[in-house]
Amino acid sequence: MAAEKIAFITGGNKGIGLETARQLGKTGVTVVLGSRDLAKGKAAAETLRADGIHAEAIHFDVTQPADYQSVYDYFDKKYGRLDILINNAGVSKEPFMAPNTTSTTSAEVLHDTFDTNFFGVIQITQTLLPLLRKSPAARIVNLSSILGSLALHADPASPIYNAKAFAYDASKAALNSFTIHLAHELKDTKIKVNSAHPGWVKTDMGTDAAPMEIPDGAKTSVRLALLPDNGPTGGYFHMEDALPW
């Protein structure tokens, strides 16, 4: 018998992705962790299973084109559908609180950042969309950042005004645009698409300087993954709060 809901979480073997899987799993969702290192993914899934969660791990590297079809084949053959896609995998090649170096940001840093944070998200979403359409009410959650907010970056009074990591910030702003456009295309379906800002969280990327613990950092993704039929789509949220684009 198929599980009530099936979720795929990219970059799900550690940090916010793993905690998102744990919290979703506690609600009865079967969680599948996408991991660049399959051994680490399997070890993470084992920790979840030890906690009574239905968890699996598959190899997925957003920079490897062959992986997209293999992920599709996995869900198609095993479940015939996908209910929740959480595009959690992301990279940063720049320090977040450093002098603004936009004029010297290299093409390599821009390409590497966009390949994972933007182009990879689009490709895996487009690949899996036929399976999401087979769900009774699919949810797509794109892990963005408050650093993707153009409104806040342009406001000298905002808390992120001096946090200008150009490649990362631009990739998240572009991701937000994808959220808006895809949600509009799917507005007459039961699929909901939203961007999530997890907060500044103590992860490898966020560092120990961050004020938020990982369990709190997963809450926004989990909420958007489990939205009811009357929930929002095409939005940009942290916890319950809408953020300015």
pLDDT in tens, 24-74: 999 999 999 999 999 999 999 999 999 999 999 999 999 999 999 999 999
pLDDT band at 95 (very low <50, low <70, confident <90, very high): confident
- For residue range 61-77, list pLDDT tens digits in order: 999 999 999 999 999 99
Non-local (6+) Cβ contacts of 35 within 8 A are 11, 12, 13, 41, 44, 57, 58, 59, 60
Query: Is 168 an active-site residue?
Result: yes
Span 6-242: which CATH code?
3.40.50.720
pLDDT tier for residue 1 given thresholds of 50, 70 and 90 = very low
Report how far Cα 131 is from the mean position of its chain's Cα atoms. 18
Helix axes 166-185, 120-132, angle to 10 degrees: 20
Long-range (24+ apart) CB contacts under 8 A made by 105-111 are 105/166, 105/167, 109/167, 110/166, 110/167, 110/170
For 167-221, the pLDDT digits (tens) are 999 999 999 999 999 999 999 999 999 999 997 654 555 555 545 577 788 999 9
pLDDT for 216: 83
Q: Is the CB of residue 179 less than 8 Å from the CB of residue 233?
A: no
| Residue located via tokens 């153009």 | 150
Sheet holding 139-143, edge to edge: 55-59, 30-35, 6-10, 84-87, 139-143, 192-196, 235-238, 241-242
Show the tokens assigned to 80: 């015939």
Give the rounded percent of residues in the chain with a pLDDT score beyond 90. Answer: 88
Sheet strands (E) in 18-160: 30-35, 55-59, 84-87, 139-143
| pTM of this structure | 0.94
Give the domain ranges of the chain: 6-242
| Residue of 68, 79, 161, 168 with catalytic role | 168
